[in-house]
Amino acid sequence: MEQYIPKAAVIAEMKNRIDKCNTKKRSCPVNTQVEAICDNKIYAYKELLSLLDTLETKEVDLEKEVRNYIEDNFTSVEEPDNYITTVMQLDDMVSFAKHFFELGLKTQKREKA
């Protein structure tokens, strides 16, 4: 199973590492190997931050998707209301879960494209 790290958490960690490198760099003599390593790390972290800024995240309006799915796949003898109440049988629940699993896969593919 794939696990995802929130983009904001990655950005915060990169900025934290840049700060640590800057702190270490200030405490070392000028033109040393440590200073050069710190400069290289800072450059790399900034390049990664720049790359992360280009990545687009997409959100799905889950409430809208649930409402649309229920309206498209279930009928009720009652007039529709704001709460869209309906009775689901086990096979309905499996179909419902499968639909949203596939929606998640489609969203992943769109994000990667």
> Are 55 and 8 in contact, with CB atoms under 8 Å apart?
no
**pLDDT score recorded for residue 18:** 92
The dihedral through the CA atoms of 87, 89, 90, 96 has a sign that is negative
Query: How do the domains of the chain map onto residue ranges?
Result: 7-54, 62-112
3-class DSSP state of 31: coil
pLDDT(78) > 60: no
Determine if the pTM surpasses 0.85: no
User: Looking at the chain, how many residues does it have?
Assistant: 113
CA nearest 21: which of 36, 46, 41?
41
Report the mean per-residue pLDDT for the chain: 77
3-class DSSP state of 83: coil
pLDDT(15) > 90: yes
> Are 84 and 67 in contact, with CB atoms under 8 Å apart?
yes
